[in-house]
Structures are given as C-alpha cells and as structure tokens.
Structure 1
Amino acid sequence: MSLRGWSAHDVAVERLSTSYAAIPAGAPVRLAKRTSNLFRPRAATTAPGLDVSGLDGVIAIDVDARTADVQGMCTYEDLVDATLPHGLIPYVVPQLRTITLGGAVTGLGIESTSFRNGLPHESVLEMDVFTGAGGVVTCRPGDDLFDAFPNSYGSLGYATRLRIELEAVPGHVALRHVRFDDAGLLAKTITEITETASYDGVRVDGLDGVAFEPGEYYLTLATWSEQGGPTSDYAGQDVYYRSIQQRETDLLTTYDYLWRWDTDWFWCSGAFGAQNPRIRRLWPRRWRRSDVYQRLLGLDRRFSIADRLDRRAGRPLRERVIQDIEVPVANLAAFLEWFDDAVGMRPVWLCPLVSKREWASYPLEPGQVYINAGFWGTVHVGPDAPNGPRNRAIETKVLELDGHKSLYSEAFYDRETFDQLYGGANLAAVKGRYDPHDRLTTLYDKAVKRR
C-alpha cells in the first residue's frame, strides 16, 4: 500500500474535528464506524458519529529507526502490507487482519510475540488522542492520558496517530509443535521459555499453544528463519489448527505466519462449513478470512438462525461463550481443569504474555508470566442462556485465580468489582481532565451496563 503522508493525515484530522462540532451538545460522541471486532451488545443509534474516513492508513515509515507513524483506524493487514516489504513488522501483530492499531492499543491486542514484547501499547512511543473535549492531545509514556489509555475502549478518546516501534524479520518462520500430556508440565515449560527465549537449544521468537482436550496440549514454537524451502499454505485446502496435531515441524512465509489464525478465524470457520473439504473447494480463497465469518455471524444473530434450528431439533438454548481471559501461569492447570468440567468447550487458545510495566486500566504485575486463554463458541444451557450462566461463572473463577478478562465481549461485574479490577478511580480522574463535559461513554457503561 502507498503511504498516506502527513498532509493527508492533517486533512483527515480536520475532518474529524468538523464532525465533532456537528454533534449536538449533550449528545454522546461515538465513531461513525460500520465494522467492529467487539462481541458485546451495543445500543443502536441514529445519531451522527465522528468521521474517521482518511484515518485508516500508514503515514510514514522510518526504516533506519524502525518506527512507523500510523493512523488509528489502520488495520494490521494494511500496516503489515506497508512494513513487511522493508523486512519489518510491529512488535505484536494481533491474530485477525481487521483489528486496527488504535483498537489493539485501547482494547489490548495480543499474539505469539507477547511473551517477549508485551502487548501492542508497550511498543507505542507517542500517540495523538482525540478527546471528549474535541481536541487532539499528544501524549507519551508516563503521561496520565497515555498510561490510562490501554483498555479504555474509547472512553478516554480515540487515537488518531500512533508512533510505534518495528521489529526486523526474515522471510520465513520455522515452527515446532510440541505436545504435552500434563498441564502442569505445559505451564512449567512456558515459564522456562519466557525466561530463556529458547527451547531445546533453539531460539524461540513466537510462542502460543492450543489445548485440544484434557491431556492433549500443544505449544507452537516459532523461530524467524532466513532459510527458505517448501512452505505450507493454510489459506488453501489445509486448515492450520489441525496441522498442529498432525505434524511436528512446519515452515511458513512470515506473511502467512502472521495471518495463520485469520483464515479460519482460529477454528470458528467450521460453524459455517468452511472446513468441510467439499465446501472449502467452492469457498473462494478471498473469502477465507475472519471478517467474512464475522458478517455471517451477524446474519445469524439478526435472524436467529441457530436458535431456530435448535428449537426445531429440540436442543436446549445456546449461550455464547466468547471470551479471552488471563491468569498467572501457575494457575493455568487449575483453570483448564475447572473449564473442562464447568464449560466443556474446546479447543482453547493459549498465549503467554509478560507485561513490561504497570498499566492503570489493566493491572498486570510487571515481569509476571500470564496466560491468555481464548475460547469462542456456544454451549447448550437451556432457558437460562440469556442470563449468561457460563460467562458469569468464568468471571468468578478467573477472579479467584488472580486473573482478568478482556472487555471486548460480555461482562457482568458489579461496579465496585469492576473498578477494583480495571482501575476505575484513576480512569474517572483522567476522564474528568480530558472529557470535562462527559461526552464519551464510560468504560463501565460500554463494557457492562445494558442500555
């Protein structure tokens, strides 16, 4: 993709400011954005929103300094397309192509490099935030707005520009899929790899895993590689997550490694038949991507297709269980054992992360190894499904295990617990300084409150 340039960026910011001025006083301020990677219910509205057109590209890349100035609505797909030809990628590239840089920073993205590079906001050097007061504030690490911004989900404003660090990468990634039968040994090995950045004498650049069944766990160890050779193609007939069980080693291009999970939305494409070999041959390659499945899911919700089929077949009502949680690595085995018994959904994605410093709105102990467990699907629970019994149980258990959960999906915390977990007092103080007229919706109202 071509670079956007500073002049075009300035025009887009001015257009954003003009759209803010057109929103009536007292009306809530939101983005005029049609797509989203959020899975929590949002109130429908016909009110005008902020015009973010023209804020979806890369402004400039400094190859020597290994930095990029990127607009907040730029997707990681477009960002990688701009940086990878220079042999560079962001420190952390979240799994799905359409996640935006601003979204990953304000909503906490994660991926296999997070065990050594932390979360996306930890490689941000500077950012411009359009606040509820209607102006742009430039902030840097150590500033109150910058430090409270991660996990604020737009409650403090919207990033219009971010200067990020980039990492040099070669053209290929060599993979090792290592099986474990014991969750305790799995956790111990993760800890050792995060301490040494190696396994069995070989450097590890990326680390994630999958829990397929009780007693069947895999770690995938990725090593950036200068050596080429025959590579696998998981945007074709083969399905990436199945390869983890089927082969001990693999080789991907760096580009395909970054989007290995997007092609089949991890494993969720199976719900649409896209993993059936006969259907897959007819499914256009360009449509094997997460945003297509997301749109199909939207149609299912709109017309209640799955619920109607369940009722016709006499099956209990489904509860959506779509969550990412983090627990200390020492509590991983306990969580997986509980999750198998109480929820029973598999596979579960496992992604280690180590935060470099404290962050006010998502307290993680610096240097502590956490495991992000991601699980996305439905569970037949019967008439109580609308009350979210499995999701509520997960919240309770994660809290017992000294963990947190991401806020992109449904949450049920009471206000006091929520504020304790997500730095509510500090968030309110920072919001009061940069949004004095309370134009932006609070984090609690966004994440929990039903409107």
Structure 2
Amino acid sequence: MTIRPLATMAEHRRAVDRLLDRFHSLPPGQPVRLAKRSSNLYRPRQRHRGATLDVRGLDRVLSIDPATRTAEVEGMATYETIADATLAAGLLPSVVLDCKTITIGGGVAGTGAESSSFRGGLPHDSVTEMDILTGDGRILTATGDNEYADLFRAMPHSYGSLGYAVRLRVRLEPAKPYVRLRYVRAYSTDEWVAQLRRVDADREFEGAPVDFIDGVYFAPSELYLVLGTFSDTAPYVSDYVRGIYYRAIRTRREDYLTTRDYLWRWDTDLYWTSSLFGLENPILRRLWPSRFRNAETFRRLQMWFRSGGATDRVWAALGRPVEWVLQDADLPVETVPEFLEFFRREVGISPVWLCPMRLREPATLYPIAPGRLFVSVGFWWPLRLRPGQAADHHNRLIEAEITELGGHKPLYSTAHYTEDEFWEQYGGDAYWKLKAAYDPGGRFPDLYAKCVRGR
C-alpha cells in the first residue's frame, strides 16, 4: 500500500482554474461529459459526440484534520485513496463504498450503501460542503444551509446531470486496525429480518458492539447476517485475495481481517461475479495476476462482453438469449421477505447481497424518509430468456415489484422505466426546477436521458 501525498489547496485551485478555462472555451450549447480514469456504471452508453472535461487531476486528498475529524478531498479521489490516507490517521469516512475505484464525487452523485450504512447513512450523509461545477459554468460552494442548499440536497442521485463536485468536506470517525466478523445464520427470511432488527436496535450482538452489518441470501432457508466490530488486535487475519470471501460466510462462524482488507472484501471478486470468468477454479485463480483481481477489471470485462450486443447476439444464435440483471433494490426492511420470495419465484439468481441502510439527511432526488431502515438488495448475473420473453423481461418485473413495495432503485445500471414512470419516482417537477436554475442550457444530459437512454 502506497499512501499518496496530500495535495495543497494552491494545487487544487490551479486544477479547478484549468477545468473552468476548458469549460468556457467550449462552444455554447455543446454537450459536455467528463473524461476520467474509471467508471462504476453498469449501463451501456451511446457514443459521446460532444466535448469532454478532463477531471483526472482532481483526484487527491487535500487535508485531514484529526481534531475536527474532517477531510477535504477532490471529487475524483477514489475511496481507496481516501481510506488509505485517513486510516493512517486512525480515521475513516462514515461510509466507504465497496469498490476501490468508486470516486467520492461519484458516490455522492450516484448514492450507494455499505455495511456501515445502517448507522452512517449513504455517502452524502457524511459530506458537509461541496464545491460544484454547474452546467452554466459556475463553481458554487453548497452546504445544507446556505443559498445553494437546494443544489446540495439534490446532488445525491443526480448522476452528474446538475453538476460535478470538485471538492468535498467529509466527516470522519475513529477506526481501528482490525475488524472481527461474525457470520450468523438464519433459516428463513423472516428470521433474518428479525435478527437484523434486534441488532440494529441494540447496536450489539452477544455482548459485543456492532459497527458493520451486511448479509447474504443463498436460499430461502440459508441466509447470513455478517456482523463486524472494530478491534485493536486480531489472533489471525484471513486473506481473501487468495481465498474467496463469500464462501467463508457459509463455512466459518468467525473471522478477522485488517480494516483495509475488510473495506475491500467484496472488491477482490466483485462479490461473486468473478466466477463468470472462471476465477473460482483454483488453477485459473493462481494464474490470474492479483493486480487484475478487482472490481474495476471485472466491470470492464463485463461491459466489453456486452458492448454493441455482440455477446448477446452470439448467445441468441446458439439458442440461448440472455438478459443481464445487474441491479440493486432499496426496500423497506419489512418488505424484504416478500421481495425475496418474488425474486426466487420469478428471477432465481443467488447469491443475493443484503445491506441494511438508512438516510440521515434528506435527498431530493432519492426520496427515502430519513431514519427509516431499508435494505439494499443486490443481484448481478446474466439470465437465460425463455422463448417469447422480451429482452428486458426480468428487469421490468423487478422494477415493478420495487415500486409496488415502496422501494427505490439506484440508477448505476440499466433502467427500463417509461419517462412518466421515471419522473414520478425520481424528482419530477423538483428536478426540472433545479435543472433550470443550474444547467439552463442543458450542457449535461438530464437524468432520464443519462440513466435510461444512456446518453
């Protein structure tokens, strides 16, 4: 692990000035897209014919203040970069998303949950201030209580359609060197929810505090609650670069990881999707270079297979047409058993990730009530289509069920809503008022164009 040196505010201001110069040099009305090193989106995009803004230089940590437990970071700083820098000071953001290359600006604009989200909220909940490049070419400093509070509250789930954060101030919390894990089995979805409610209310399990909660559904009678507790010491540490993390959940009752390895436990195999490329085969796993055993590599491979529909056409020609189902469903906790029964019956993918979450602060474009316990249900796999089924058959069923159960769907992957369905759930009139205020010329694609039409 190499910790990058902190950047100075003077270096940051020069990078922002270059960004603004580039933006204002573009012809008025020309569509704009960011040029950056990586992406964590799973939706195909149309070829961009407009201009690009190179934001790859805005990827550093600017300062860490242990006294106030805050950090100043640039918008394209990855969670790996931020976590490495803050862990060196014994601190972490309240929520660190699951893949190393997710940027904090992307995490705020796209939302997301991780195992601290039952207490820490979503990425925007730990952000107190943002400098935002808006579609009309301004850099605005937005907080929850200043003149740009409407923009501040609308950044979560805006996916860059209103603006891009170039600097963020983030609250931090104390961290310890290790995490102790306990794998608690449930024999039904109702039992899993009941266990979760008890642990969430008590913030402890069998006398030990609980700092992290997530879980995995393998079958209706085999689910696990994974409980993590910060620790100063560890009798041993497991290695899930060589091993396969999700398999350990089924075979062990307790585990220890370094805190850094805990943060990236799902990154190594992108949960279990590395098996699409044969990496659960011990021989191939040893031969595959460890530096390419990460979520970014597997995402790129998946998107390459899907690009242009070439792989889909091959499978169709072989009589095996497939539909990619790569989604999350954020659901009220009490509806999880009903959703998982629907999912078992109509979709049939397993394993399924289960991550408790609650918002701490309102988010205009992702209207989940703050304080209410939800569960993010994640499922990622290609499904074979039966004769007569539409190409988006399963995704449309899932979207309808999420709506029926009072949930919401993050838009990092494909969405299939009609325009009316979409705006009813994702901001509607409020969104268009914000768009008129901060991007009146439409330099950035609107939310529907970007997240459904792939622009």
Instruction: Give 1:422's aligned residue.
Output: 426
- Counterpart amino acid of 1:421? Q
What residue number does 2:166 align with? 160
Contact 2:42/2:303, CA 8 A, preserved across alignment: no
Secondary structure class of the residue paired with 1:286? helix
Q: C-alpha offsets along residues 80-132 of structure 1, whole Å, 9 cap, x if unaligned?
A: 11111111111101100000000000100210000000001001010000000
Partner of 1:332: 336
% identity of equivalent residues: 45
Contact 1:58/1:82 (CA < 8 Å) preserved in 2? yes
Counterpart contact for 1:61–1:69, Cα < 8 Å: yes
Match runs of 1:225-244 below 5 Å: 225-236=231-242, 238-244=243-249
Instruction: Classify 1:360/1:308 alpha carbon distance in 2 versus 1 (closer, same or farther; 3 Å).
Output: closer
Aligned partner of 1:39 in structure 2 is: 42
* 2:410 alignment partner in structure 1: 406
* Alpha-carbon distance between aligned partners in 2 of 1:254 and 1:346, rounded to the nearest angstrom: 27
Q: Aligned residue for 1:106?
A: 109
Query: 1, 15, 20: which is aligned to 2:23?
Result: 20
Find the aligned partners of 2:152 and 2:417 in 1 and give their Cα distance: 25
Aligned residue number for residue 394 of structure 2? 390
Q: 2-side partners of 1:160 and 1:384: how far apart?
A: 47
Change (3 A) 1:55 1:190: same
Q: 1:185 aligns with which of 178, 191, 204?
A: 191
Q: Which residue number in structure 1 is paired with residue 58 of structure 2? A: 55
Number of matched residues?
A: 449
Deviation at 1:387, TM superposition (A): 3.2
User: Which residue number in structure 1 is paired with residue 356 of structure 2?
Assistant: 352
Q: Give 1:48 shift.
A: 2.2
2:82: which partner in 1? 79
| CA distance in 1 between partners of 2:431 and 2:336 (Å) | 29
Q: Distance between the aligned counterparts of 1:66 and 1:295, measured in 2?
A: 35
Instruction: Give the superposed CA RMSD.
Output: 1.6
Aligned AA (1:356):
R
Q: Shift of residue 34 of structure 1? A: 5.0
1:201, 1:239 → 2: CA distance? Answer: 29
Q: 1:53 and 1:109, CA in 2 relative to 1: closer, same or farther beyond 3 A?
A: same
Question: In the superposition, relative to structure 1, how do residues 387 and 315 fare at CA in structure 2: closer, same or farther (>3 Å)?
Answer: closer
For the residue of structure 2 that corresponds to 1:53, the secondary structure is coil
Whether the 8 Å contact between 2:178 and 2:257 is mirrored in structure 1 is yes
Q: Which moved more, 1:344-353 or 1:285-294?
A: 285-294
**CA–CA distance in 2 between the matches of 1:229 and 1:393?**
47
Equivalent residue in structure 2 for 1:6, among 6, 9, 26: 9
Shift of 1:286: 1.4
- Report the TM-score, using the length of structure 2 for normalisation: 0.95
Q: Which runs of 5+ in 2 are unaligned?
A: none
Does the Cα contact within 8 Å between 1:315 and 1:380 map onto a contact in 2?
no
| Pair 395,308 (structure 1): closer, same or farther in 2 beyond 3 Å | closer
What stretches of structure 1 of length at least 5 have no aligned partner?
none
Distance between the aligned counterparts of 2:343 and 2:324, measured in 1? Answer: 15
Letter in 2 for 1:40: R
Pairing partner for 1:223 from 206, 229, 240: 229
The list of structure 1 runs, each at least 4 consecutive aligned residues, that deviate by more than 4 angstroms after superposition, is 303-306, 382-386
Aligned residue type for 1:332:
V
1:274 aligns with 279
Do the aligned partners of 2:131 and 2:165 also contact (CA within 8 Å) in 1?
A: yes
Separation in 2, partners of 1:326, 1:109: 10
Question: Which whole-Å CA distance do the structure 1 matches of 2:252 and 2:104 have between them?
Answer: 33
Structure 1 residue 440: Cα displacement: 1.7
Q: Structure 1 residue 384: deviation in Å?
A: 5.8
Aligned partners of 1:42, 1:333: CA distance in 2, in Å?
34
Cα distance in structure 2, aligned partners of 1:302 and 1:415: 24
Give the Cα–Cα distance (whole angstroms) in 1 for the partners of residues 308 and 222 of structure 2: 37
